[in-house]
Chain A
């Protein structure tokens, strides 16, 4: 019989890593959805005989506005992958620094306290990676360990929390920071009028989120325990075989072209209930024990599939729906924004189990059990 996948089993006497804070940063350029629809109609008016199509697609995603890395008029000047990726590095470093400073300040820590930095993104590439640029910019220690992760897509927020917690189980005196920077607007393909691209142009926004996690020994030594956030109890990665075509990028000379199939909500609907139940059962819990759901706001159809499969009542994913409406889908940063909202509202409350979950290209899910 194969071993149950997941984080190491609980070892007596080793407290779990804890989430100390969530920081975030948005670009200053915010546009409501009407303004964005009007801009896209100007852009695609000549190739779409019926511009109403675009309006309808952009209304259906239930997003009311989005932050953009650049002012809207600057996107016309992004005439190549080089220009878009240069903007990603420039703006991403700036935004990442702000999110990280915010998270560290909320945790009462400074850059020199960080032992390991995990960086996730799927909307631009850089070597040296953004985390390396932030070592210089923020003054992180020269011996800081860095793990830049590209390619996990929307699942990387949840997976990043899980990997940082895995690390802290081995180094329980350490501080780890997870930083997600996603500038989805810079990946937009202006010549691609395929439906996935038209939907993506209405759904995805820009933002950065950072999470400070502290190892169990360290967190348990903190005098003011009340300021500490939830423990990361255990996590599980779930991979769905032969679903590579469901979602991802096709990467070429023009940059990142979105791959999105109508199967995403079906894949979620078919698997998530069994996966969540099996995961929770391993911890002696059931779905009804989860007091706080922290889900990635993929899009309305995915969220409806999630609610249906998990039998969630109307309010269970309210924070997720609100995040989608207010800033759009920020890929890996989104679930961390929802986590920040939950922490800000004092959830999960003391002792309450919470489930943080996201899905992404592969296709795959990451389930993370938290406890307040």
Chain B
């Protein structure tokens, strides 16, 4: 599975959760969450602690992976999520 496919899958989950970019400077033209690795989960997407757990659970269900507590510590951007998912799927 390519990084782009994983990123697109994450975007779909975020949009199902009704998460939108917190600020117009990070929105893509169509208003969707942009497919950008550097997008920050808290600063750019306004994810609070409950939404963050929900995102992780949905990712586990969707990508059939288990994220360990040590993985979660390193996740701050969409790119970090992509890397963790790729590693756990390996």
Contacts and interface: CB of A to CB of B under 8 A. Distances in A.
Interface of A: 47-50, 52-53, 57, 193-196, 199, 260-263
Contacts of A57: 53
Interface stretch (B6-14, B43-51, B74-82): B43-51
Interface in B52-79: 53-54, 56-57, 60-61, 64-67
Dominant SS at the B interface? helix
Given A194-B54, A195-B54, A49 B48 contact: no
24 contacts: A48-B57, A48-B60, A49-B60, A49-B61, A49-B64, A49-B65, A49-B66, A50-B57, A50-B60, A50-B66, A50-B67, A52-B66, A53-B53, A53-B56, A57-B53, A194-B54, A195-B51, A195-B53, A196-B50, A260-B50, A261-B48, A261-B50, A262-B49, A262-B51
A196 B54 CA distance: 9
A47 B56 CA distance: 14
A200 to B, nearest CB: 11
B61 A48 contact: yes
Contact of B48 (A52, A194, A263): A263
A263 B53 CA distance: 15
A260 B49 CA distance: 12
B39 to A, nearest CB: 20
A180 B66 CA distance: 42
B62 to A, nearest CB: 8
Contacts of A263: 48
Contacts of B57: 48, 50, 53, 193, 195
Contacts of A195: 50-51, 53-54, 57
A201 to B, nearest CB: 14
Contacts of B48: 261-263
Nearest to B69: A56
B66 to A, nearest CB: 5
**Residue in A194, A199, A263 whose Cβ sees the most chain B Cβ within 10 Å:** A194
Nearest to B58: A193
A56 to B, nearest CB: 9
A261 B52 CA distance: 12
Contacts of A262: 48-51
Contacts of B53: 53, 57, 195
B64 to A, nearest CB: 6
A52 to B, nearest CB: 7
Nearest to A193: B57
Contacts of A196: 50
A305 B89 CA distance: 38
A5 to B, nearest CB: 31
Nearest to A262: B48
A261 B66 CA distance: 25
Nearest to A54: B57
In the A-B complex, the 6 residue pairs with the smallest Cβ-Cβ separation, listed nearest first, are A262-B48, A262-B50, A195-B54, A262-B49, A50-B60, A49-B60
Contacts of A50: 57, 60, 66-67
Nearest to A263: B48
**Residue in A52, A53, A196, A263 whose Cβ sees the most chain B Cβ within 10 Å:** A53
**Residue in A49, A52, A262 whose Cβ sees the most chain B Cβ within 10 Å:** A49
Nearest to B57: A53
A57 B56 CA distance: 13
**Residue in B51, B57, B60, B61 whose Cβ sees the most chain A Cβ within 10 Å:** B57
A57 B53 CA distance: 10
